[in-house]
Structure 1
């Protein structure tokens, strides 16, 4: 791996870092004629697992599914459930800082990764962090590389913290009886007022509820995951009755929700302060309805996602135009807007290019960091766009 990157640095040829390859249409297109670096093929397997410490170290190409299987045998789990599937790799999950429904309880990859090994854009191997929870010495390169989309280095190995499997694990839905925004806001506020440690709570519009197979949800639903001791889960389920009638549903609903953005679709994520969750949901539902898409909101984090699938007979241009118009409806949204995957031409949507705060200061900071780790810009060149410190 280091030799391949070193050769790329010397020749100036860009590299496209690939994990499982299922989300290659996420992020902006990599510029030039990139050489493919297949991490999953080259780096796969667990290198150290200490169940007593609740820590595990694995090569970056190891799939999340393999990690779940290995840890389940010891009554443990890696609480990373990014959107996509368990075929996704550990390295790609960290590189993109991808998080799923359980992030409300356990945090994002930045909260769960203890240490990393990575190859910089000059071919140098760097180790950061450690393999134990208490190792926090030095500059935090782990968090710096998490979410950098491979632009600072090719992640080759990662150490993560694990969690004990819960004694009880139930999933319930509370079907909404209306799409009225004020009533839905009341439901969100009521759920938060319970102050209970739900692992995940997602508010789904009717399109999303139907796509993942939830029954009897013509107006949408709340999907709630409750984990812990049997008594705690029983208490959480009883408390849901104050919001609406709760019925147990297939736990695989979470897996289907994570996979509800297939290759070729467009997906945009936006968020606000917790107090604005109701307004964020109203915006998400409106954008999805206008574009023929689907929407859901992580209630605990106030993060909404809108997914737009490409129609079978839709041309590239027509799909890109539909997506661009939909994103344009977020122009007045006061929170954060992030595109996860888009048609190539839709990345130039003004709503996305304007949301960078002080662009000059941001670009200067990012450029300085990338100069230190990848001065030749050979790693995933262009994937972060103008905000990524390109020369």
Structure 2
């Protein structure tokens, strides 16, 4: 079977662009453009293969042949208008390479996800990646104005546009952002850009969960203008912290005078916390260390709930995990009610304990949980997304959309609820 699949793919991309995996039934293919992707999609639909867009190895979990489609040859900026602050880029372009190119014009894609140097633009869009700066700059749904997508039948559709002000028809790009490759293969994205801030300040407040929660509520009550409001575990290297402490990161990308005014307001909030202030290069160095600590995580779980409950949820879950001997790292965007839990332990038993514990805690508090990453060798048979808040009517609508765009279910099956 695997030889037949490889032979059919070779007719499209050539034998040099096919990489048989060490896993039975899995074949990696590297098309060099949109036309080859279209042909592969038509072939997969005709033969009912699983087609998985991915940039890391895949472990086969069923008998259906799987074609892992890499977009590493779809690279480069296809159009860039610095004056309009708009860029169109092919989906296989490394995110870091895009930011490097934009930096020459003092511009940026205002996105700071936890990802390694191999992360691609299309992959980040498909996963709806985000980082702490979403508080000030928004998420990819606010940045993507258009894209090109290859459908299951091989047709190429253009959704959105290459202009910021576009009110024509449905805002279809939002449908594909966060779809995890389950509706089509993204081949190009168009983004709105931002100027690189001239001054950056980061306030790190360390204290107990009770104190951090009170300070967070006061920041929200005063409607302070911030670009980041992230809760992380307090570094144990800090002499003033203990194992129960948390660190609240409050970021500002405003001019120096505005940052000083924000500092005065933060210091005016009475609380038993320690305060560290970082500026410019120190801020960049801190966020780089933050990402480097989280990138190696083998297990990544995303949780979502009411913002007012996040600190209490995290404190309770941390206590439960500690009693189970499970160590994790935290990154919770408090004002958005969304966060991620990173586990570095690859032991299957500990991975299972971590996942089950987080899922149960979420279910007991009417919170949502999504499994974003697991060790490749760990087999998980439950739905990757579990949300008690998703109604049956919403699940039916999701299934109808999936059926409309992917009637034979070839695209990345099983990444959503109900095996979608």
Q: Does TM, scored on the shorter chain, surpass 0.5?
A: yes
| Residue of structure 2 equivalent to 1:11 | 47
After superposition, residues 61-80 of structure 1 pair within 5 angstroms as 61-80=92-111
**What are the ranges of 5 or more consecutive residues in structure 2 without an aligned counterpart?**
1-36
Aligned length: 371
Give the drift of 1:214: 7.0
CA RMSD of aligned residues (A): 2.7
| In structure 2, distance between residues paired with 1:334 and 1:136 | 35
Give CA deviations for 1:182-204 in whole Å, capped at 9, x if unaligned: 32321211222342221112121
- 2:149 corresponds to 1:136: no
| Residue of structure 2 equivalent to 1:33 | 65
Structure 1 residues 287 and 269, CA gap change in structure 2 (3 angstroms): farther
| In structure 2, distance between residues paired with 1:261 and 1:253 | 13
**What are the ranges of 5 or more consecutive residues in structure 1 without an aligned counterpart?**
none
- 2:241 corresponds to 1:220: no
Give the drift of 1:338: 2.3
Determine which structure has more spread, i.e. the larger CA radius of gyration: 2
| Residue of structure 2 equivalent to 1:57 | 88
| In structure 2, distance between residues paired with 1:190 and 1:333 | 24
- 2:419 corresponds to 1:384: no
Give CA deviations for 1:218-242 in whole Å, capped at 9, x if unaligned: 4232222211212112222232323
Residues 362 and 368 in structure 2, CA contact (< 8 A), matched pair in contact too? no
- 2:198 corresponds to 1:170: no
Q: For 1:371, which of 403, 415, 419 is the aligned residue?
A: 403
- 2:211 corresponds to 1:187: no
After superposition, residues 1-391 of structure 1 pair within 5 angstroms as 1-19=37-55, 21=56, 32-39=64-71, 41-176=72-207, 179=208, 181-206=209-234, 209-210=235-236, 217-218=241-242, 219-243=245-269, 244=273, 245-248=275-278, 249-262=282-295, 265-290=298-323, 291-310=326-345, 314=347, 316-342=348-374, 344-346=378-380, 348=382, 353=386, 355=388, 357-359=390-392, 361-388=393-420
Give the drift of 1:30: 8.6
Residues 284 and 296 in structure 1, CA contact (< 8 A), matched pair in contact too? no
| In structure 2, distance between residues paired with 1:31 and 1:268 | 27
Residues 305 and 368 in structure 2, CA contact (< 8 A), matched pair in contact too? yes
| In structure 2, distance between residues paired with 1:125 and 1:116 | 10
| In structure 2, distance between residues paired with 1:239 and 1:258 | 28
SS at match of 2:335: coil
Structure 1 residues 158 and 295, CA gap change in structure 2 (3 angstroms): same
Structure 1 residues 214 and 60, CA gap change in structure 2 (3 angstroms): farther
Higher relative contact order (CA 8 A, sep 6+): 1
